[in-house]
Amino acid sequence: MGIAELWFTEKQTPDLAISTKIKRIYVQEKTEIQELAMVETEAFGNMLILDGIIMTTERDEFVYHEMMAHPALVTHPNPEQVLVVGGGDGGVIREILKHPKVKKATLVDIDGKVIEYSKKYLPTIACKLDDPRVEVLVKDGFLHIHESKNLYDVILADTTDPIGQAARLFTRGFYHGIYEALREDGLFVAQTEDPWFNAELIARIHRDVKDAFPIVRHFWANVPTYPTGMWTFTMGSKKYDPLEVDISKIPDLDTKYYTPQIHQAAFVLPKFVADIVKD
């Protein structure tokens, strides 16, 4: 009888799951906010899991974190003040700091334990959370947004899925709050799930963001450990259009997924996805 194998399974929908073989369990803890696990996997290195859902892994995190940050920070010509709602693993912050025009990046995550354990077990992702340009707040991002008026050039909503404490971060009220928290030419990007099992959600987000912003764009990337591997992002912008960026002027950002060509290609939606967000 061989040594028993240990597998982690995420039920991505009631009828679909992803499993990954576990080498080691570092942390399994109920924080004040959620169930938190940090494990080492055979296929993806260290992995952060919240409420049984894969958040980020050492191996594929760069795709998501680069695409959360760079389309927004390349589209805005002068992104000095940037806010991240969620993002406690620090990956989006790491990418934001690759832009020299950023004077301050504020991270607001509701769970300080995510930040603490990411620093310890995801050092390549959380590596910039102590940078002098970064301010870390442990509080509800929904409240922070509604306390902030005309403060930010770019806001990035790197939140868990629309359940529990994150549910209201996918609502019309949140997007209108973001509008008020942004400066007059600001823009935001939110992670907006997969188009295979969340088409209605994406269609509703499109309507809600369009209700607040004159420019709404959707883009996507391949994230192997997220449901279906096809992940979408939604941008709402008061003035600048990502499709009008001169990609020849995009600097080398020391990335592994995002490139000037990807900036253009990511906004090209397969027909079944374009149909979801058709006006």
Q: Which is nearer to ligand SAM, 40 or 51 (CB)?
A: 51
Measured distance CA(65)–CA(68) in Å, rounded: 5
Q: Which of residues 229-258 bind ligand SAM (CB under 6 A)?
A: none
Measured distance CA(138)–CA(222) in Å, rounded: 30
**HSE-CB of 60 using CA atoms within 13 angstroms:** 17
Binding mask 30-49 for ligand SAM (x = CB under 6 A): ---x----------------
Is 160 an interacting residue with respect to ligand SAM (CB under 6 A)? Answer: yes
Q: Choose, by CB under 6 A, the member of 58, 60, 95, 109 that binds ligand SAM.
A: 109
Q: Which region, judged by CB under 6 A, interacts with ligand SAM, from 16-24, 72-80, 155-163, 201-209?
A: 155-163
Is 153 an interacting residue with respect to ligand SAM (CB under 6 A)? Answer: no
Angle 214-219-225 from CA coordinates, rounded to 5°: 140
- Among all chains, which residue has been given the structure tokens 């300080």? 112
Sign of CA dihedral 124, 132, 134, 251: negative
Q: Which is nearer to ligand SAM, 123 or 251 (CB)?
A: 123
Binding mask 112-131 for ligand SAM (x = CB under 6 A): --x-----------------
Measured distance CA(237)–CA(217) in Å, rounded: 8
Non-local (6+) Cβ contacts of 212 within 8 A are 172, 175, 176, 178, 179, 236
- Among all chains, which residue has been given the structure tokens 């997007």? 175
Q: Is 158 a catalytic residue?
A: yes
Is 69 an interacting residue with respect to ligand SAM (CB under 6 A)? Answer: no
> Which of 60, 158, 194, 208 is flagged as catalytic?
158
Q: Which is nearer to ligand SAM, 129 or 245 (CB)?
A: 129
Q: Which residues bind ligand SAM (CB under 6 A)?
A: 33, 50, 55-56, 64, 85-89, 108-111, 114, 140-142, 158-161, 165-166, 169, 191
